[in-house]
Structure 1
């Protein structure tokens, strides 16, 4: 075969190869995320779901027993309205809207053993530790009265600037929350226990729990853990590698539609 004919043949093969690559795609080149399977959510608009692992489900009502103290019972209709009016701001509270920072919302219960693992995986993600992602922690106490007690204590500790430390202590503890144990944690963290106890029953803390429950209803979370990474919802146990892939995918796709006005 002459050099000119060989050159024409090679050029033809290159053109054909490019055509089939564009038409059919090669999974490894088409997308690093091709193996992830998503279901588009009907509501809220612009979000999708990926299957996770096991969850801890529960139907406990964290506001049972507050009827005797109407000032401590939040207005759940107001919480729903707040979520619907500002979904992004409620879901990713504190996120500035920076497109270079992927927003993450984590919903957990202190009595959920899977949450302890998933929460640690989230906190240890390179994107989180290096500032490329930001987590908003939501208390979702659906597994009983001790779950509610712990959630209220953590949110009350937040009012003294100690949420992260309190949250970490409760997740690492093998014990269920009791007033005595919470008092001991508060003492270890040098918190004002009297103020903590007062804030635990405050309207502000109840309202934060109500908003997290409103978000749960909106996204139809069956249990905990539940995570929203950008526009992607994951329920249940999820590997650290998958979390990292989702964060990178959301970074490439940009902020979710619900956050376009942030």
Structure 2
């Protein structure tokens, strides 16, 4: 194993260990639920949580050489998601049986996201009638992040999003075309179709929509989360997530969808 890969593994391992410790001792994370009403979008409120990775333009990796075109695409995406915030956040989630929707924004190389994504997956498994999660790709940490995000969204076209997400979130390796080809083969995904879909307008639009939502909610990095109508920036304990879920159920999370 070369020094770069070893360093990556050590860094991820250290952060995961530290994050697990924080979850074991919840008092080390902000546990007082203090909410700040947002002027925009109306009906939402913010909870500032813990650590965040990345602080770049959410549209990084989506730019074309034509800056005028980039600005137009950003503006169009923001207008598009602002017209239906809840639809853009939660898509076609099944919210029957009083499920509370969560929208998770993450980067595959954000170490906090790796732990939090696993936690959310476990939560949906343990609480299938209480929560439903929409996954948003928000690649902020460079070319590998952008490549991994495109690959996951392309895999979704073949019904393999969860499988790709799990592997990309746990792999110590950075995404490269060669790695994605091997991953496709391992998971039984059509590699040629994956590459074609990665550059498709549909995948580009999904990334633009998630980036626009990040702009609208003023996310400064990942992980970021919207639970019902509560916007959460940074790492957050499982106990606090459940506390917010209970509050959203009690107060009626869909009030934001009426007023947005």
Q: TM-score higher than 0.5 here?
A: yes
The alpha carbon displacement at 1:208 in A equals: 0.4
Question: Matched residue pairs, number?
Answer: 228
Instruction: Tell me which residue corresponds to 1:228.
Output: 226
Instruction: Tell me which residue corresponds to 2:20.
Output: none
Alignment of 1:150-165 (within 5 A): 150-165=148-163
Q: Per-residue CA shift, 1:4-30, capped at 9, x if unaligned?
A: xxxxxxxxxxxxxxxxxxxxxxxxxxx
Classify the secondary structure of the residue corresponding to 1:75. Answer: helix
The alpha carbon displacement at 1:191 in A equals: 0.4
Distance (whole Å) between structure 1 residues aligned to residue 238 and residue 158 of structure 2: 31
Instruction: Tell me which residue corresponds to 2:33.
Output: 36
Q: Does 1:75 align with 2:83?
A: no
Instruction: Tell me which residue corresponds to 2:178.
Output: 180
Task: Mark the CA change 1:96 to 1:64 in structure 2 (over 3 Å): closer, same or farther.
Answer: closer
Classify the secondary structure of the residue corresponding to 1:135. Answer: strand
Q: Is the 8 Å Cα contact of residues 63 and 70 (structure 2) preserved in structure 1?
A: no
Q: Per-residue CA shift, 1:21-75, capped at 9, x if unaligned?
A: xxxxxxxxxxxxx94111111111111111210000231543456348xx99993
Deviates more, 1:163-172 or 1:77-86: 77-86
Q: Is the 8 Å Cα contact of residues 75 and 207 (structure 1) preserved in structure 2?
A: no
Instruction: Tell me which residue corresponds to 1:251.
Output: 249
Instruction: Tell me which residue corresponds to 2:84.
Output: 86
Q: Per-residue CA shift, 1:197-242, capped at 9, x if unaligned?
A: 0000111101100000100010000000000000111111111111
Q: Does 1:52 align with 2:52?
A: no
Q: Does 1:132 align with 2:130?
A: yes
Q: Does 1:95 align with 2:93?
A: yes
The alpha carbon displacement at 1:89 in A equals: 0.4
Q: Which runs of 5 or more residues in structure 2 are unaligned? A: 1-30
Classify the secondary structure of the residue corresponding to 1:80. Answer: helix
* Aligned CA-pair RMSD: 2.6
Task: Mark the CA change 1:137 to 1:74 in structure 2 (over 3 Å): closer, same or farther.
Answer: farther
**TM-score (ref. length: structure 1):** 0.80
Match of 2:164 among 157, 163, 166: 166
Classify the secondary structure of the residue corresponding to 1:170. Answer: helix
The alpha carbon displacement at 1:251 in A equals: 1.4
Distance (whole Å) between structure 1 residues aligned to residue 64 and residue 186 of structure 2: 30
The alpha carbon displacement at 1:254 in A equals: 1.6
Alignment of 1:173-212 (within 5 A): 173-212=171-210
**TM-score (ref. length: structure 2):** 0.80
